[in-house]
Structure 1
Amino acid sequence: MPPVNSDGAGPSSGEDGSAAAAKKRNRPKYHRFTQQELQACKPILIPQTVILVLVFVGLIFIPIGLACIAASNKVVELVDRYDTKCVPRNMLRNKVAYIQNSSIDKTCTRVFKVPKDMKKPIYIYYQLDKFYQNHRRYVKSLNDIQLRNPKKVANTQYCSPEATANGRPIVPCGLIAWSLFNDTYSFTRGHGNETLRVNKDGISWKSERNRRFGKNVYPKNFQNGTLIGGGQLNPSKPLSEQEDLIVWMRIAALPTFRKLYGRIDMDLQAGDRVEVTMQNNYNSYSFNGKKSLVLSTAGWLGGKNAFLGRAYAIVGLACFLLALLLALLYFVFPMREEHLSLHYIPARLVR
């Protein structure tokens, strides 16, 4: 065999050494974690374990659900829809003209009879239906910097179409503030003998009063345009103290929502006659919306809502039913030991 010519073509030994060294340097350091060689738990759930787990979940969830339902049932709630009942009969076919006519008295009186004892505090809510506060253009129509910074009150960016009126900036600007709810309620017990005072202090979140709305920002040029939207604001009070506005500007996610109007710090007894004198000012008729007044107590879960309790109870019952089904299947088709093994004999290849 002839000797190999060292001067011939091909990579040199020096090049091979440098390539091997570079490859060695790029190789990650060996570790059991990077090589996935750590010990791992690979449990095989046998039917008995699954059945016990489902029964345990059912035993936990069903009592929780029943407790939530019981707490919701203890809450006393009165709901009265008044948007159509407060319209004169001769204008039921033209509700928009009724609400837009400022010469018509909008005073309306409703009477409640308390079905159960209501312990203080009694929360007053107004409920609106078919009002889409989550609409994209509506949500964007405000300026948060203007709300909290007195030096930026002229900044009306993003507030269109309610940015300026008569050539001057609106404070607070935007459609959200412009559409402020302006129905009012006053309450008496008996036949007008005892006035139930409505406390409106602290109905908003403290974080909103302290951070979102400025203590030195006052309403200016508000509702002075050609088209009046909703309620008025007190120009002598800063925005951080106008709690009706603060509550209204917390955007609702759904078209049916409730917002806190105030609270009554007195107990009401079963059978009490409560008379409500309201001003039906808010125009919900243009979009076929509904308005309701809600009086409600509160429990340890909040207001009256049985959804959470029902969800827990249904999940618990479903777990019990699945456990029963698996138990029947286990007794009818018992598992053998080879079913629990991870090692299966491969089938022979059929030629």
Structure 2
Amino acid sequence: MAPFRRKVRATDAGDVTRKGPDGGDSSDNGDVSGLKKFTQRKPANTAFKQQRLKAWQPILTPRTVLPTFFLIGLVFAPIGAVLYYFSQQVNEFTIDYTDCRTAPASPQQQQIPTSKYDYQLHDKNTSNYQPPTWSWDEAARTCDLYFSVPAQLDASVFLYYKLTNYYQNHRRYVKSFDSDQLLGKAVSRSTIDGGECKPLDIDDASGKIIYPCGLIANSVFNDTFADPVLLNVAGGDSQNQTYVMSERGIVWPGERDKYKPTSYSANDIVPPPFWTGAGAGGAFGFPQGYSNGTIFDPSDNEHFMVWMRTAGLPTFRKLYKRNDAEPMPAGRYLLRVTDNYPVAMFKGTKSVVFSTVSWVGGRNPFLGLAYIAVAALSVLLGLIFTARHLIRPRKLGDMSFLSWNQPDSHGR
């Protein structure tokens, strides 16, 4: 078998002419045409395409780098201190009522374990503080939480519920809803069946459409919180006084536009399975199903809107009530919770959270501490590099010898 010799491809003008067997030059028309095609692919001879645009490239020297480190520390430190200070001014306390069913029967009370509550108050008055207690009413399935507010909470005051170990960020969970259905459209059975709401799209028993369909709506939080009652009002005419909080205005701006009353007929739809179960209650309790005049209206329930905006972390809190007008007086309070929502199935916990806000938001010191940490690190690195430069300085090169600082052929 004769040996094969690889054909050399012309890549530039010097490759067009090759040596023949006799040592002479031989031209290949195919190579010439290949050269022409190659030259046509060259970028245009412009400053942009040939990367000859003027650019500024900083030269890092101790004279420029060291002051930068100290400047970052000088700027970030006060910003972090301000953010941290105002974050600490936010009053907040949390009570975990997951195990309230183990409490004694009402009206007897038992002190809540210290691991179940957390007070973070910047002006806590210990003389006006008692540990929280709880009691349980089996017949009404209610948990009575007795807690102290040591110092007045200035408006606005927010009431949240908090869940742990609950992964609303799961891919299938996040996608499990039908936006057209929530906008009030009577989406057909063929569209819902096998869509994003699967497996909660069609009811197996009746063959009817589940409304609202999907995992998010089916698992909506349905514990209810009554307005807290201030007990033993000092100097008041009445024994008890209710601190009224509103369930309106708890959704983000623009959220209402995603929900409209449905166009479905009650004969065509059924509630989600958990809305008809033993634990169903409140606005999400439909043990007998839907009938004309009793169909769930998502546009009128802000708790549903808050729940449908899924959380990104497994531990999260969602707003339930608020009072923007009146402060919450100091004293001993009773909060009655109707316990409908099970958390044992996902090994989670549920808590109630009272909080105020400042101009930097809620009580979250992370941002302030992050600024302070960056400032401290910058100053530390600045001191280390300064000491290194003073003890063992490094001789710098002459920047006049850089290529872009050299004169061109015209002496410029």
- What is the TM-score of this pair, normalised by structure 1? 0.81
Answer yes or no: is the 8 Å Cα contact 1:159–1:175 preserved in 2. yes
Q: Structure 1 283/337 Cα, relative in aligned 2: closer, same or farther at 3 Å?
A: closer
Question: How far is 1:184 from its partner?
Answer: 1.0
**314-323 or 173-182, which moves further after superposition?**
173-182
CA contact under 8 A between 2:224 and 2:339: conserved in structure 1? yes
Q: Which runs of 5+ in 2 are unaligned?
A: 1-24, 106-136, 233-238, 286-293, 404-412
Could you tell me which runs of 5 or more consecutive residues in structure 1 were left unpaired when the two chains were aligned. 1-8, 91-101, 345-351
* 2:209 corresponds to 1:169: yes
* 2:268 counterpart of 1:268: no
Contact 1:76 1:116 in 2 (8 A): no
Work out which of the residue numbers 157, 176, 187 in structure 2 matches 1:152: 187
The amino acid of 2:102's aligned partner reads V
2:114 alignment counterpart: none
- The alignment status of 1:60 with 2:82, answered yes or no, reads no
1:117 to 128, 152, 165: 152
**Equivalent in 45, 53, 59 of residue 30 of structure 1:** 45
Alignment match, 2:342 = 283
Question: Deviations along 1:35-65, whole A, 9 cap, x unmatched?
Answer: 2223332321111211100111111111111
Asked if 2 retains the 8 angstrom alpha-carbon contact of 1:163 and 1:169, the reply is yes
- Give the direction of change, closer, same or farther, for the CA distance of 1:12–1:173 in structure 2 (3 Å limit): closer
Question: 1:131 corresponds to which letter in structure 2?
Answer: Y
Q: Secondary structure at the match of 1:199?
A: coil
SS of the residue corresponding to residue 100 of structure 2 reads coil
**What secondary structure is seen at the aligned counterpart in 1 of 2:344?**
coil
1:311 to 1:190, Cα distance in 2 relative to 1, 3 A: same
| 1:337–1:217 CA distance, 2 compared to 1 (3 A) | same
Identical counterparts, % of pairs: 35
Say if 2:213 and 2:272, in contact at 8 Å, map to a contact too: no
CA separation of 1:25 and 1:184: change in aligned 2, threshold 3 A: closer
Contact 1:180/1:230 (<8 A) preserved: no
Alignment: residue pair count: 322
Instruction: Say if 1:24 and 1:272 are closer, same or farther in 2 by CA, change over 3 A.
Output: same
Check conservation: 1:217, 1:239, Cα contact below 8 A. Answer: no
CA RMSD of aligned residues (A): 3.1
Corresponding residue number in structure 1 for 2:271: 222
Give the Å deviation of 1:215. Answer: 4.2
Task: Supply the distance in 2 between the matched residues of 1:104 and 1:28 (Cα, whole angstroms).
Answer: 83
CA drift at 1:190: 2.4
Q: Distance in 2 between matches of 1:206 and 1:126?
A: 20
Supply the distance in 2 between the matched residues of 1:153 and 1:127 (Cα, whole angstroms): 36
Per the TM alignment, residue 253 of structure 1 is displaced from its structure 2 partner at its CA by 1.2
Please point out which of 71, 80, 83 is paired with 2:86.
71
Structure with higher RCO (Cα < 8 A, 6+ apart): 1
Residues 73 and 374, structure 2, Cα contact 8 Å, conserved in 1: yes
Matched, 1:209 2:256: yes
CA–CA separation in structure 2 for the residues paired with 1:323 and 1:123: 44
Cα 1:22–1:268 shift into 2, 3 Å: closer
Q: How does 1:1-351 map to 2 (within 5 A)?
A: 26-88=41-103, 104-152=139-187, 154=189, 155-156=191-192, 157-165=195-203, 166-186=206-226, 187-191=228-232, 193-210=240-257, 212-216=258-262, 220-223=269-272, 227=277, 230-231=280-281, 232-233=283-284, 235=294, 238-265=297-324, 266-269=326-329, 271-338=330-397
Change (3 A) 1:296 1:275: same
**Which letter maps to 1:32?**
A
